[in-house]
Amino acid sequence: MNKKLDFIVGMLFAAATAILIVLFMTNDSFFNWAFERHHNVLSWYIRPLFIIPMVIFAFRKSYTGIFASIFALFTSMFWFPAPAVKSPRVMEFLAFEMDYLKGEWIAQKIVISLAVPLFFFLLLTAAWKRNWKWLLGVIIGAAVLKFAWSIAFSGEAGMSVLKPALFGLVVCIGVLSYFLKKHKSTNDK
């Protein structure tokens, strides 16, 4: 795909993601429908894995790949059916998240929520510039902060995030380390 088309398609995915987020935050029916499916913890396990294609596409400087991966990450919260049996801890944590998202947006919440776009910016910049130490720091820092935020704001229910966060962290580091070694060995030839 040529660079111009790649940029245009990438921006279409970015716009689709923005529209999805606005719909999610303004349409209660869609919000509730999505969160019912987000009770399925499979979505918790796969969401961090979208960091892998984001990083690889940023490494390759593909806007389409980057923004398609971000779109997939956001939509993956409702890819799976609502579970027949729901964990009480998961229900408690998601009730907190729903209240957080639908509650009053004070300055502190806005500042904390800016960590999400900041994470994407730092992640993609580190990969784009091929700064692997910075990239590793961003990935580890994001996992630690997500876990800390979950515990600090939702108490013990936040522990439900630990296994998916650790799983995502280990898989991301493993796959990206393999990608880096493979890329280095290809360049060394």
The per-residue pLDDT for range 31-49, each reduced to its tens digit, is: 999 999 998 888 888 988 9
What's the rounded Cα separation, in Å, for the pair 2 and 50?
24
pLDDT at 188 > cutoff 80: no
4 pLDDT above the threshold of 90: yes
CA 52, CA 55: separation in Å to the nearest integer? Answer: 5
Question: Using alpha carbons only, what angle is made at residue 70 by residues 52 and 141, rounded to the nearest 5 degrees?
Answer: 55
Q: Which residue has the higher pLDDT, 158 or 2?
A: 2
- Do 105 and 82 contact (CB within 8 A), yes or no? no
Burial class (CB in 10 A: 0-12, 13-18, 19+), 22: exposed
Burial of 16 from C-beta contacts in 10 A (0-12 / 13-18 / 19+): middle
According to DSSP, residue 77 is labeled G
Q: CA 62 to CA 74: how far, in whole Å?
A: 19
Residue 83 buriedness (CB in 10 A; 0-12 / 13-18 / 19+): middle
Residue range 52-67: mean pLDDT, rounded: 95
- Percent of the chain past pLDDT 90, that is, above it, reads 50
Residue 86: its pLDDT value, please? 81
Taking 90 as the threshold, does the pLDDT of residue 57 lie above it? yes
Residue 124 has pLDDT above 90, yes or no: yes
CA distance 44 to 67: 20
pLDDT at 154: 82
pLDDT category of residue 88 using cuts at 50, 70 and 90: confident
CA atoms within 13 A on the CB side of 30: 10
Radius of gyration (C-alpha) of the chain in whole angstroms? 17
Q: What confidence tier does 180 reach under pLDDT thresholds 50, 70, 90?
A: confident
Identity of the residue numbered 184: K
Average per-residue pLDDT in the chain? Answer: 90
Q: Cα(24)–Cα(31) distance, rounded to whole angstroms?
A: 5
**In the structure, what pLDDT confidence band is assigned to residue 30 with cuts at 50, 70 and 90?**
very high
